[in-house]
Amino acid sequence: MDLPIGKITKLGLYLTAIEAYDFTKTEENNLLFIDVRTQAELAFVGIPTMIDANIPYEVIDDWTQWDEKGNFFEMTINQNFVSAVENWVNKKGLNKQSPIILMCRSGYRSARGADLLAEAGYKNVYNLVDGFEGDTAKSGAQKGQRVVNGWKNSDLPWFDQLDKAKMYF
């Protein structure tokens, strides 16, 4: 799989949205599927029907801080990310050898989250490389829009109603 540098992880385990969907259908009870996007993204964009939990990799601590370079609200790494994942691993009766799938908008934050988990001793953390919204079109009438691949663009099951039991607090 030819990936941009930002989507490459230390463990080198990757799934596309379609592959992840198929994997969750066969291994549903033996894996952990985590959406690492912010709560706002889930609330306003949607969420896969089969995720186990939302654990944001990054959070917006202060809505008055702006990242001039990236043109978005400044985000910081969620200091509770690894411990929150560990709680879900234990809740599902899994361990550090169990498969974990991480998904974000387009595969970059989930890659960083996978690296954090690898550093914490997790061995089978997959980056869902095309994310929930997919990659941007490089040309044509939809250039710059997230219309290439991804969970939503692959017509995989999702909804826009959140389950409180799966949300990060």
Asked if the model's pLDDT at residue 164 lies above 80, the reply is yes
Q: What is the pLDDT of residues 39-98, one digit of tens each?
A: 999 999 999 999 999 999 999 888 899 999 989 899 999 999 999 999 999 999 999 999
Asked if the model's pLDDT at residue 28 lies above 80, the reply is no
How would you class 56 by CB atoms within 10 Å of its CB: exposed for 0-12, middle for 13-18, buried for 19 or more? buried
CA pair distance 100, 118, nearest whole angstrom = 11
Give the pLDDT confidence score for residue 145 in this predicted structure: 78
Say what the pTM is.
0.93
All structural domains of the chain? 5-156 (3.40.250.10)
The mean per-residue pLDDT over the stretch 122-147 comes to 90
